[in-house]
Structure 1
Amino acid sequence: MSKSSHSQSPSNKAPNSPVSCDDSISQKTRRHPSGKRGQQRRDLILDTAADLLVEAGVEAINTNVLAERAGISVGSVYQYFSNKEAILTALGERYIQQLSNNIITALQQDVSGLDFATIVSRVIDPMVAFERQYPAFRHLNAGQEGQITLAQAAQRVEQEILTNIYNLLLRVRPHLSPIQGLQIARVMKALYKGMSYLIGQEQEIHIQGGDVNSLIADLKRMMTEYLEKNLG
């Protein structure tokens, strides 16, 4: 069977796997920015929302606080976003795009002929770098319980990651069964989320005398050993 015939979303193989969210920015925002200035204003709103999300969680985000923090009027916020949920949805969509440009690129690279340790490093290192560059992404990836908008954004992120891990496994082992491939992909994604958690706790771990890079290296070894056991 050809590689293209294997490349697919694992959600087609398992009814309980995550499905992508149909929410789009166009359905949630009041208007699209026109011109460079409008895009800059919209980006400012989303950047400010991301900062608030990292600092104090989703509860800290409301249009009044966001406008004050960004140095703009509340009316300017409402020109682009109808409410808080629209802002969070747009922020999630933006991370989906950044995810595609960074993490998904790492997962889609050619790994033919490489040993498992090298594959893990080539895939995981860019993903870890992405987590550190965009700390608000971790809040979406964690799927804040009780927050529907964040959960939907997280669902899309997780589906992107799971699908591309699954397809990478099929490139390594083209005859891997869908059930086994999905199971391995889920374990690998769970280990990656463990790394995401450690990165989020990096400052606290450092204060306690720990080293996050060393812990990430341990998780990479676990990934390598798991792949060798199941695919070697």
Structure 2
Amino acid sequence: MSSKSALKPAGTRRVPQQERGVKTIEVILQAAGQEIERGGLAKLTTKRIATAAGLSVGGLYEYFPNKEAVVHALASRWLEQIKDAIAAVHPAKTGCQDLVRYLTMVFEAVKPHYQQVPGVSGLISVLSSVPELQALEDEIDVQVNGLLADAIASLVPHVDAAQCMTMARALTILDHYLLIEAILRDPANAALYDEHHRVCQYALATNLMLMNERARAAALAKQP
């Protein structure tokens, strides 16, 4: 989308208070994702979204002022869903006590949001080109990294906070780009990407667990 279009209002025209309105918003977003999947962002129009949603263009405009607002809502929801998926597998909620297992749980929780969301490739491409969405992505990244760092710190309590945050950021980057390659760009080699992901994940976890044990042993050695 052009920078000009990105400056248009991004929010909905009105926030639905009734169940019917909430469902209509869901139908519109689902239809937009399917249209992005079929024709890409370049061919996306309010008319195509409305038709796919079974609405008139006027009916669509009751909820969204333009197609950019629909794409913004779709991208916002995708980012929030990923954050919520990661929050749901925090050790405080699952009782997980193993770092390798936790990292696998994070990956498996996030993976469906790359596999099953229509138009996700288009949403990913637009995040960096629309300043408002880039700001939202940055905000969600901070929250996600905070969740991951907190979870990692609970599993390797003798590792300092800076190392846990670095691990969280590395994990975010690793998962995101390998999922893009395995699901969106090169699905024929998805099994190979998964295998390499497991190796990288295990290496990261093993390094942090060794650091934890060394720091624990050093702390014990200082005790009288």
Please, what TM-score do these two structures have when normalized by structure 1? Answer: 0.72
Residue 97 of structure 2: which of 108, 113, 116 is its match? 113
| Alignment check: 8 A CA contact 1:63 1:84 kept | yes
| Alignment check: 8 A CA contact 1:33 1:39 kept | yes
| Alignment check: 8 A CA contact 1:29 1:86 kept | yes
Work out the CA distance in 1 between the residues paired with 2:62 and 2:80.
23
Aligned residues: 201
The answer for the alignment partner of 1:148 in structure 2 is 131
The answer for the alignment partner of 2:117 in structure 1 is 134
| Alignment check: 8 A CA contact 1:67 1:74 kept | yes
Q: Are 1:65 and 2:43 matched, yes or no?
A: no
Q: Per-residue deviation at 1:172?
A: 1.5
Work out the CA distance in 1 between the residues paired with 2:122 and 2:87.
19
Work out the CA distance in 2 between the residues paired with 1:33 and 1:189.
34
> Which one has a bigger Cα radius of gyration?
2
Work out the CA distance in 1 between the residues paired with 2:143 and 2:118.
18
The answer for the alignment partner of 2:222 in structure 1 is none
The answer for the alignment partner of 1:47 in structure 2 is 30
1:183 partner SS: helix
Work out the CA distance in 2 between the residues paired with 1:119 and 1:171.
11
The answer for the alignment partner of 2:214 in structure 1 is none
Q: C-alpha deviations, 1:73-127, integer Å up to 9, x for none?
A: 111111011222321222233224433442321245446532x432222222222
Task: Give 1:131's aligned amino acid.
Answer: Y
Task: Give 1:213's aligned amino acid.
Answer: A
Relative to 1, partners in 2 of residues 1:197 and 1:58: Cα closer, same or farther, differing over 3 Å?
same
The answer for the alignment partner of 2:18 in structure 1 is 35
Relative to 1, partners in 2 of residues 1:148 and 1:57: Cα closer, same or farther, differing over 3 Å?
farther
Work out the CA distance in 1 between the residues paired with 2:184 and 2:53.
27
Q: C-alpha deviations, 1:141-189, integer Å up to 9, x for none?
A: 5554323344244334433322221111111123433332222211111
Residue 62 of structure 2: which of 44, 58, 79 is its match? 79
Over aligned residue pairs, what C-alpha RMSD do you find?
A: 2.8
* Greater RCO, 1 or 2 (C-alpha within 8 Å, sep 6+): 1
Q: C-alpha deviations, 1:15-54, integer Å up to 9, x for none?
A: xxxxxxxxxxxx8211122423222222111111112233
Work out the CA distance in 2 between the residues paired with 1:88 and 1:217.
33
Bigger shift: residues 177-186 or 73-82: 177-186
Unmatched tracts of structure 2, length 5 or more:
1-9, 211-224
Work out the CA distance in 2 between the residues paired with 1:57 and 1:218.
30
| Alignment check: 8 A CA contact 1:128 1:195 kept | no
Q: Are 1:166 and 2:149 matched, yes or no?
A: yes
| Alignment check: 8 A CA contact 1:45 1:66 kept | yes
The answer for the alignment partner of 1:215 in structure 2 is 193
Unmatched tracts of structure 1, length 5 or more:
1-26
| Alignment check: 8 A CA contact 2:46 2:57 kept | yes
Relative to 1, partners in 2 of residues 1:65 and 1:179: Cα closer, same or farther, differing over 3 Å?
same
- How much identity, in percent, do the aligned residues show? 20
Relative to 1, partners in 2 of residues 1:228 and 1:135: Cα closer, same or farther, differing over 3 Å?
farther
Work out the CA distance in 1 between the residues paired with 2:32 and 2:95.
37
Task: Give 1:95's aligned amino acid.
Answer: W
Please, what TM-score do these two structures have when normalized by structure 2? Answer: 0.75
Relative to 1, partners in 2 of residues 1:106 and 1:135: Cα closer, same or farther, differing over 3 Å?
farther
